[in-house]
């Protein structure tokens, strides 16, 4: 009887872990390229995802070789924004007002619009509310009327576990095994650091 119960228990655990692992993977954007003809910039890319086939596409532009990603390109048309479907040779166009600059770089991000909520991160500039200010961008999800991060925060400078974080105006995090690669799935934060050392309830 114990063996039968143990096998049943292990089978349930295996099924649950398969289901959890199949919940959602991030879409993959590949083959991003752009060309400029006169004042028209044309961006092409491919986007795929194992579970979803509709995405929100975000474009970021750098005019300084990738140091910052806050170049205001104005409005763009084509396969950008919500409701973009999976496929190859997706195209975005916009009218570029300036002269050609060899330091231009373009990033394309895809956020899958899953059944458990809608993407609510509509601000995609460097340092925006869904960015850690250091160039990492986070998928968001709307739950009820609130917007939540859909993945773990990984902002700040790493401290060794033997050091205390302090109220110095710098976001400080801890990483597994005291190595930066230990934060690949997100940083660890002390409560006071996460609350920015504010103690009143209204903060």
Question: Where do the domains of the chain lie, and which CATH numbers do they carry?
Answer: 28-113 (2.60.40.10), 157-194 (no CATH)
Residue 89 pLDDT: 95
3-state secondary structure the chain: CHHHHHHHHHHHHHHHHHHHHCCCCCCEEEEEEEEEECCEEEEEEEEECCCCCEEEEEEEEECCCCCCCCCCCCCCEECCEEEEECEEEEEEEEECCCCCCCCCEEEEEEEECCCCCCCCCCCCCCCCCCECCCCCECCEEEECCEEEECCCCCCCEEECCCCCCCCCCCCEEECHHHCHHHHCCCCECCHHHHCCCCCCCCC
Convert the pLDDT of each residue in 153-176 to its tens digit.
Answer: 887 889 999 999 889 988 889 999
Reported as a pLDDT band with limits 50, 70 and 90, residue 21 is very low
- Confidence bin at 53 (pLDDT 50/70/90): confident
């Amino acid at each position: 009887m114990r063996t039968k119960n143990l096998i049943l228990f292990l089978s349930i655990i295996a099924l649950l872990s398969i289901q959890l692992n199949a919940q959602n993977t991030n879409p993959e954007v590949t083959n991003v390229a752009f060309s400029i003809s006169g004042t028209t910039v044309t961006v092409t890319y491919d986007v795929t995802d194992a579970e979803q086939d509709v995405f929100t596409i975000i474009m970021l532009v750098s005019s300084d070789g990738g140091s910052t990603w806050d170049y205001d390109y104005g409005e763009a048309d084509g396969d950008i924004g919500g409701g973009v479907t999976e496929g190859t040779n997706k195209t975005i166009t916009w009218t570029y007002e300036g002269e050609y600059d060899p330091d231009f770089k373009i990033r394309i991000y895809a956020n899958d619009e899953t059944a458990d909520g809608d993407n609510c991160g509509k601000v995609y500039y460097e340092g925006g509310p869904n960015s850690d200010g250091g160039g990492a961008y986070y998928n968001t999800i709307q739950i009820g009327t609130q917007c939540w991060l859909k993945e773990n925060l990984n902002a700040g400078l790493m401290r060794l576990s033997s050091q205390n974080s302090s109220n110095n105006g710098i976001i400080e995090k801890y990483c597994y095994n005291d190595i930066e690669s230990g934060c690949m799935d997100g940083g660890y934060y002390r409560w006071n650091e996460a609350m920015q050392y504010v103690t009143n309830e209204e903060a």
